[in-house]
Amino acid sequence: MSAQREMLRLILECVALAILLWIVSGALYPTFYGMAWIALIFPAVWFMQRSGSLKAIHGENLFGVHQEEDVTIDFAGREAFEYCLSSITALGIASSIRPDIETGRIRIRTKITLKSQGELVLLTISKVDDNKSKITISSKPALARTIFDHGKNSENVRAIVHSLNDVHKIGVNRL
């Protein structure tokens, strides 16, 4: 079902892009012109999405609003969890923080800004070995039907990685 939803989202984004191009071109051409753009853009975007070439160097999803990144830190267990919690608190973007040490997850709801209605950020901490932990940082809009996030989710992920790096002045390794 998720593949069908992804395909529908991809089609809708291509249609939105074709409509935007149609408007930018002065809307002087008939509707067929917009449909021609869809026919040209959809296969290219579909191929790039499937091949993974729409990902930036650090794994940033350039085409969607959901952003995710994995990093490793030199702490394990409860210490890693507390480290992540202190980094989030120091960042000051959260309107609510729900830590769950048993599952190793920290759920964050960010504040409403002029750019967005808030985001849902999830930090998942998993133990790699006795001295290291892997942290998966995931940020998505609080409103499920958000199409454009103005780079806010990417900004959240980058800010959290930067905060993890700055709180205790240790190195964070990107995976």
Which tens digits make up the pLDDT trace of 101-121?
899 999 999 998 887 889 999
Q: If you count them, how many residues does the chain have? A: 175
The CATH code that applies to domain 67-174 is: 3.30.530.20
The list of the chain residues with pLDDT below 50 reads 56-58
What residue spans define the domains of the chain? 2-51, 67-174
Q: Please state, in angstroms and as integers, the Cα–Cα distance from residue 114 to each residue in 31, 75, 122, 151, 154, following that order.
A: 34, 36, 22, 13, 16
- pLDDT given at position 47: 65
Is the model's pTM score more than 0.75? no
- pLDDT given at position 56: 47
